[in-house]
């Protein structure tokens, strides 16, 4: 992402904030995995969205109209001794030279400097509730400023939810964001394709998971957007199955929900295919039904339609199909009204996609479903899940979990499927696996 992109975002946010305001946004800190081993660090999405700064222990401050500079970054100082062990630090000099900050200070000086920056600011834009300890620090800074009222110092009188403004910005993807997400989706789609070609009975779920990670890393996407789900057979009926330890058996399907991340932007793709390369009759029947539902849902991803239109299209197709197969009973209207389909399809048909895999942005506005607009990106992911032992269900349907998921961009015209490179028709999958 170019520096101009981050600058544009900061300008847009500060335009909404107006003068007399201050925004405070911390990133995360490194977390201990066990003893002296740390989890891989990933910056806070909101913080990175405005800065492009990926180091831990940093705080962004925006002050519209401040003469000395509107964009201030608190970060770790350079430390040659620590950098030998833990890697390069930008330092306060790099924060200005490389990340466009108007001013920068050591993170250790935050408590000393920030109260002064709050003076004469009427409004504080801050996302309360993410970090109670940092929430308390912000409250303490405000209290410090207010305690100087007798000396003629005026402090903030209003707190505003920063995420309300920022998350609406993040919902609309720029051209550069779309280009990056398209690259991430292409890498993930290629990985899913490779897994189809490499899969065979006797492998284990973790082997496919490792092949997916390897492919993404070899293409420059070193971080996954979320832990991969690789569920063979009945494990595919567990929506967030991440154990990935079981063998892949001849005659079973395997459901793989996996996506890489590029520049903190996610991809999210699910494909389901037969371990041995050939769908059974029952598997094919259910698979084609899910695919039909997905295609109907994708067709509804158009400007002017509302958020729930794709979901309604999917459940209508699924419910009608389940009734025809005898897996549900009654009329279509009653089944839809009673939501009897939730026995086999219990989740929504999609979610926003962006810097977070379940991305930010309101789904309703004033109690009404949000209207889809160009620049929004969402997933479309209907499924069917019929676990082993399901009462009143013929054995041929049991132990089958199917989900088909793509990343879809709302455009001015037809929906743009960013993840189209991953095969998803039964014919295409079987042809690929027969090679």
The residues annotated with a catalytic role in the active site are 36, 240, 257, 268, 347, 351, 358, 381, 385, 403, 405
Tokens of 182: 């398209």
Question: Which residues, at least 6 apart from 3, have a Cβ–Cβ distance to it below 8 Å?
Answer: 52, 99, 100
Neighbours of 146 (CB within 10 A): 15
8 Å CB contact between 410 and 302? yes
What distance in Å separates the CA atoms of residue 127 and residue 318, rounded to the nearest whole number?
40
* CA–CA separation, 26 and 60 (whole Å): 6
Strands 400-403 and 253-258: unpaired
CA 65 to chain centre: 33
Backbone angles phi and psi of 424, in degrees to 5: -145, -10
Q: Which of 201, 208, 217 is nearest to 244 (CA)?
A: 208
């Amino acid at each position: 992402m170019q520096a101009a992109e981050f600058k544009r975002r900061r300008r847009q946010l500060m335009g909404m904030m107006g003068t007399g305001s201050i925004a405070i946004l911390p990133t995360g800190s490194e977390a201990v995995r066990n003893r002296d081993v740390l989890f891989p660090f990933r910056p806070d999405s909101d913080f990175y969205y405005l800065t492009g700064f990926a180091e831990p222990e940093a705080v962004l401050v925006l002050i519209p109209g401040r003469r000395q500079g509107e964009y201030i970054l608190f970060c770790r100082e350079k430390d040659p001794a620590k950098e030998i062990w833990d890697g390069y630090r930008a330092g306060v000099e790099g924060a200005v030279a490389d990340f466009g900050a108007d001013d920068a200070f050591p993170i250790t000086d935050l408590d000393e400097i920030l109260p002064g920056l709050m003076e004469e600011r009427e409004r504080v834009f801050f996302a309360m509730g993410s970090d109670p300890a940092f929430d308390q620090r912000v409250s303490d800074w405000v209290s410090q400023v207010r305690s100087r009222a007798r000396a003629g110092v005026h402090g903030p009188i209003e707190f505003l939810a920063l995420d309300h403004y920022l998350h609406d910005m993040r919902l609309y993807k720029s051209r550069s964001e779309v280009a990056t997400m398209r690259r991430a989706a292409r890498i993930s789609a290629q990985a899913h394709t490779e897994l189809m070609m490499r899969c065979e009975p006797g492998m284990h779920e973790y082997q496919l998971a490792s092949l997916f990670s390897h492919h993404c890393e070899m293409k420059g996407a070193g971080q996954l957007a979320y832990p991969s789900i690789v569920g063979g057979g009945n494990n595919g009926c567990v929506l967030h199955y991440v154990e990935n330890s079981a063998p892949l058996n001849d005659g079973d399907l395997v459901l793989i929900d996996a996506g890489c991340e590029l520049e903190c932007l996610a991809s999210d793709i699910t494909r389901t295919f037969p371990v041995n390369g050939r769908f059974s009759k029952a598997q094919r029947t259910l698979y084609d039904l899910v695919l039909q539902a997905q295609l109907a849902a994708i067709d509804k991803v158009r400007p002017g339609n509302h958020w729930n239109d794709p979901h309604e299209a999917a459940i209508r197709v699924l419910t009608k199909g389940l009734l025809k197969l005898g897996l549900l009973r009654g009329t279509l209207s009653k089944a839809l009204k009673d939501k009897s389909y939730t026995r086999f399809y219990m989740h929504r048909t999609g979610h926003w996609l962006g810097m977070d895999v379940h991305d930010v942005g309101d789904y309703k506005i004033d109690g009404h479903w949000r209207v889809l607009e160009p620049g929004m990106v969402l997933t479309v992911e209907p499924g069917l899940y019929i676990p082993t032992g399901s009462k009143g269900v013929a054995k041929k349907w049991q132990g089958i979990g199917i989900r088909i998921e793509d990343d879809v961009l709302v455009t001015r015209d037809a929906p743009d499927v960013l993840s189209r490179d991953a095969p998803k028709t039964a014919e295409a999958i079987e042809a690929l696996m027969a090679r």
